[in-house]
Amino acid sequence: MTTKQTHHLPEVFARLGQHDQHPWTPLPWKGIYNKVLYFDRITGATIELAKVEKGAEFPEHYHPTMQTLFLVSGKLRSRDTVITPGTFNVIPAGQVHGPFFAEEESIQFKYFSAVPVYFLKDGSCHCYKEDGRTFNLNDPATLKEILTKENILR
Coil/strand/helix, residue 52: strand
- The mean predicted confidence, pLDDT, of the chain is 91
Amino acid letter, residue 129: K
pLDDT of residue 123: 93
What is the C-alpha separation between 35 and 58, in angstroms, rounded? 16
Cis peptide before 99 (omega within 30 of 0): yes
Q: Name, in order, each residue with C-beta under 8 angstroms of 19's C-beta and a sequence gap of 6 or more.
A: 35, 37, 49
Query: Rounded distance, CA 152 to CA 53, Å?
Result: 29
pLDDT digits (tens, 9 = 90+) for 39-83: 999 999 999 999 999 999 999 999 999 999 999 999 999 988 999
Residue-wise pLDDT for 105-150, tens only, equals: 999 999 999 999 999 999 999 999 999 999 999 888 887 888 888 8
How is residue 97 annotated by DSSP?
A: B
Question: Which are the contacts of 82, defined by CB distance < 8 A and separation ≥ 6?
Answer: 75, 76, 103
Looking at residue 147, its pLDDT comes to: 80
